[in-house]
Amino acid sequence: MYNPTSKRLLSDILNKRGKASLDRDFMIRLSANFHTIFSYFHQLYPLRDDVWDHLGTLVNRLADAYEKRPVALRKMDRDRELAPDWFLSEKLAGMMLYVDRFANDLQGFQKKIPYFDKLGINLIHLMPLLKCPKENNDGGYAVSNYREVNPELGSMDDIRKIAKILHQQGKYLMLDLAINHTSNEHEWAQKAIAGEREYQDFYYFYDNRHTPDQFEQSMPQVFPETAPGNFTYVPELNKWVMSVFHDYQWDLNFSNPKVFIEMLDNLLFLANQGVDILRLDALAFTWKKLGTSCQNLDEAHLLLQTLKACAQVVAPGTIFLAEAIVAPHEIVKYFGDNQGFSNECDLAYNATLMTLLWESIATKNNRLLHISLSNVPGKPLGTTWLNYVRCHDDIGLGYEDYHATLAGYDASGHRRFIIDFLTGAIDWSFASGRPFMEDKKNGDARISGSLASLAGLEKALRNQDEYAQELAFKRIILLHAIIMAFGGIPLLYMGDELGLINDYSYEQDKKKAHDNRWMHRPKMDWDLVKNVDVKGTLEYNIFQSISKMITVRRQSPEFRDANNLHIVDSGNQHLFVFVRYWGKHRSMAVFNLNDHREFLHVDVLNQQNFIVQSGLKDKYTGAALSCDWHGLELAPYQFYWITQA
């Protein structure tokens, strides 16, 4: 929008800067976005009389960051402006991994890049790798320096080199920006501890428990077992600091515009290293207000919109992933909604689907899955999901309880059942997970465990039960087949492509023993990887099936995401069915959630315009499909990606 006041301010700022050298692309983007930035910034900091000074600093930081943006990345920005939907493509498939657990360090990682080609992976999320304390680091999510790589892993030069290599190969790089908090060893925290007022204002410090106690009345706890409460006493200052996650992760005070500008600067710095996707960690928590849960507040969205508008000026080719593991109707809000288009994150973790997949594995039916997915509000065009089955975190049962009620369950009993099932507390369950952050009072818990262990492989191997191993294998494949077809980027967790089971060695490591999420963060077993070429091995079966899925997905334009998903009620509660379409390309994906055979009624196919009489085939196997009078038969945990022959 054109606004004379903001125009005038921008001219003043640029005149003062005095350099006429800012190039055309930058000036076009700045002019297009400045009014938005100006107006959001005013809304975020309405009562500050120094707001214009801060805006001046902000614009200068944008210009500085742009001047430092390498020529190759500026070209990439222009290319992506011509193809802004690159991340909606069916040709993307990702993997997340911890560099040290995958290949010791970044040099080791470089040598292992061919592994991704073998599987078909072209987007790689390198888990937190910035400098952090040796012990108290929450798997790297407690950053002590946003400009340096953890020296045990390598250097920023390595990152730039890796980004370049990946780009040359048509691959993409994702890195984290832990935006909500820093480590208490970060320079700002250290200066705060040393008594510098300016840096104490970077965090939420309180002289006594009065305000913290008020906050506690409405703030939930993230790690109630190991890090209870949301504040930590700092003896050096005789003050309390807000620390929503661990006591060593101090929440940044974004109501201070300096914090906003410094974190924006860190974001642009990372973008300038060649990062394609920035994973914005713990996004729901960035704004705090007394009397609220301090999650998902309107200001947190405004802040994100401002960050996005700024990043679009400097590095429009770098996109944002929302790590907002919150209720389904809250997650979609992190895409933003600017009259139907995104103005916050381009991608978001599909935590709702992930949780419901595990719920369906436990119940063997689609009842809650269907009701929830059919009620999730639509997302804006031009955005997409990151679909995953497992990640480095626990599984939280983040669906809405009233959907469970609508599905015919007693909501709290159902939660209890899923927790007990996935943690193997029910003796007939096949899953080997463990409760994470159990609340002994109300029995609530999240769940840890690797995909293979939760899917039954660990128990089946322990019992040397071949049929159970076969079923576990089928569950692993089924879950991957769903995230490949659902719409969005499938993101594998390293090791799941081999069926790695829980790794209990963390219990012997005193830095990790208190956090059982380490059980599902195993080290890569490169000896086992050799088996992916050995026919008949479990690793071969899983790896090759996933690799084939990625290949077929790539050849299926209807699997790109253009909000082109239609969930189908097939009348059979054991089948999860949806249709994907794109122009003349159409597929019906059918997944049997049951460990018995099931039938898809012929009418369902015909109603969705998949004409049985004209011949149908399964895209995945290439086999022709035939129906008998029951319909189309699916073996236990079988799936089809059906298309007209």
Q: Which of 245, 335, 430, 599 binds ligand GLC (CB under 6 A)?
A: 245
How many other C-beta atoms can be found within 10 angstroms of the C-beta atom of residue 191? 15
Q: How does 123-145 read in b/e, with b if 16+ C-beta sit within 10 Å?
A: bbbbbbbbbbbeebbbbbbbbbb
77 versus 138: smaller Cβ distance to ligand GLC? 138
Q: Which of 34, 45, 116, 141 binds ligand GLC (CB under 6 A)?
A: 141
User: Smallest distance from the beta carbon of 154 to ligand GLC, in angstroms?
Assistant: 21
SS3 271: helix
The region of 76-84, 135-143, 484-492, 524-532 touching ligand GLC under the rule CB under 6 A is 135-143
User: Smallest distance from the beta carbon of 25 to ligand GLC, in angstroms?
Assistant: 34
What angle, rounded to 10 degrees, do the helices at 51-68 and 4-17 form? 60
The region of 137-145, 155-163, 443-451, 554-562 touching ligand GLC under the rule CB under 6 A is 137-145
For residues 312 and 342, give the distance between their C-alpha atoms in angstroms, rounded to a whole number. Answer: 12
From residue 180, give the alpha-carbon distance in Å to each of 232, 277, 415: 16, 18, 29
CA 276 to chain CA centroid, Å, is 14
170 within 8 A of 122, measured Cβ to Cβ: yes
Structural element, H or E, at residue 481: helix 466-485
For residues 614 and 416, give the distance between their C-alpha atoms in angstroms, rounded to a whole number. Answer: 47
User: Smallest distance from the beta carbon of 349 to ligand GLC, in angstroms?
Assistant: 9
User: Smallest distance from the beta carbon of 29 to ligand GLC, in angstroms?
Assistant: 30
128 versus 499: smaller Cβ distance to ligand GLC? 128
User: Smallest distance from the beta carbon of 402 to ligand GLC, in angstroms?
Assistant: 25
For residues 362 and 461, give the distance between their C-alpha atoms in angstroms, rounded to a whole number. Answer: 19
User: Smallest distance from the beta carbon of 392 to ligand GLC, in angstroms?
Assistant: 6
Task: Please count the CA atoms within 13 angstroms of the CA of 205 that sit on its side-chain side.
Answer: 22
634 within 8 A of 597, measured Cβ to Cβ: yes
187 within 8 A of 198, measured Cβ to Cβ: no
User: Smallest distance from the beta carbon of 440 to ligand GLC, in angstroms?
Assistant: 21
Which residue in 158, 323, 561, 618 is the catalytic one?
323
125 versus 415: smaller Cβ distance to ligand GLC? 125
How many other C-beta atoms can be found within 10 angstroms of the C-beta atom of residue 417? 18
222 versus 482: smaller Cβ distance to ligand GLC? 222
Which residue in 77, 247, 281, 400 is the catalytic one?
281
CA 65 to chain CA centroid, Å, is 26
Told to check if 284 binds ligand GLC by CB under 6 A, we report no
85 versus 225: smaller Cβ distance to ligand GLC? 225
Told to check if 251 binds ligand GLC by CB under 6 A, we report no
Give, as ranges, the residues between 165 and 194 that touch ligand GLC (CB under 6 A). 178
β 598-600/632-634 pair status: antiparallel
Nearest of 105, 418, 500 to residue 492 by alpha carbon: 500
| CA dihedral for 272, 276, 280, 281, sign (positive or negative) | negative
Told to check if 491 binds ligand GLC by CB under 6 A, we report no
Q: Is 561 a catalytic residue?
A: no
Told to check if 282 binds ligand GLC by CB under 6 A, we report yes
226 versus 292: smaller Cβ distance to ligand GLC? 226
Told to check if 323 binds ligand GLC by CB under 6 A, we report yes
245 versus 320: smaller Cβ distance to ligand GLC? 245
User: Smallest distance from the beta carbon of 279 to ligand GLC, in angstroms?
Assistant: 9
For residues 489 and 346, give the distance between their C-alpha atoms in angstroms, rounded to a whole number. Answer: 12
Q: What φ, ψ does residue 493 adopt, rounded to 5°?
A: -95, 130
140 versus 317: smaller Cβ distance to ligand GLC? 140
Q: Which of 77, 90, 105, 138 binds ligand GLC (CB under 6 A)?
A: 138
Taking CB atoms within 8 Å and a gap of at least 24, the contacts of 154-159 are 154/99, 154/105, 154/106, 154/107, 154/129, 155/106, 156/273, 158/106, 158/107, 158/110, 159/106, 159/129, 159/273, 159/274
323 versus 496: smaller Cβ distance to ligand GLC? 323
The region of 3-11, 138-146, 234-242, 433-441 touching ligand GLC under the rule CB under 6 A is 138-146
192 within 8 A of 200, measured Cβ to Cβ: yes
62 versus 386: smaller Cβ distance to ligand GLC? 386
177 versus 368: smaller Cβ distance to ligand GLC? 177
Q: Is 400 a catalytic residue?
A: no
Told to check if 281 binds ligand GLC by CB under 6 A, we report yes
The region of 136-144, 293-301, 429-437, 490-498 touching ligand GLC under the rule CB under 6 A is 136-144
For residues 33 and 42, give the distance between their C-alpha atoms in angstroms, rounded to a whole number. Answer: 14
Give, as ranges, the residues between 363 and 402 that touch ligand GLC (CB under 6 A). 392-393
- Looking at beta carbons, which residue is closest to ligand GLC? 141
- Alpha helices, H only, 297-454: 298-314, 328-331, 351-363, 367-375, 401-406, 411-422, 451-454
Told to check if 109 binds ligand GLC by CB under 6 A, we report no
Residues contacting residue 291 through CB under 8 Å, at least 6 positions apart: 214, 217, 218
439 within 8 A of 224, measured Cβ to Cβ: yes
For residues 54 and 117, give the distance between their C-alpha atoms in angstroms, rounded to a whole number. Answer: 46
User: Smallest distance from the beta carbon of 551 to ligand GLC, in angstroms?
Assistant: 30
User: Smallest distance from the beta carbon of 281 to ligand GLC, in angstroms?
Assistant: 5
User: Smallest distance from the beta carbon of 586 to ligand GLC, in angstroms?
Assistant: 36
Footprint of ligand GLC on this chain (CB under 6 A)? 138-139, 141, 178, 245, 281-282, 323, 392-393
Active-site residues, by number, are 281, 323
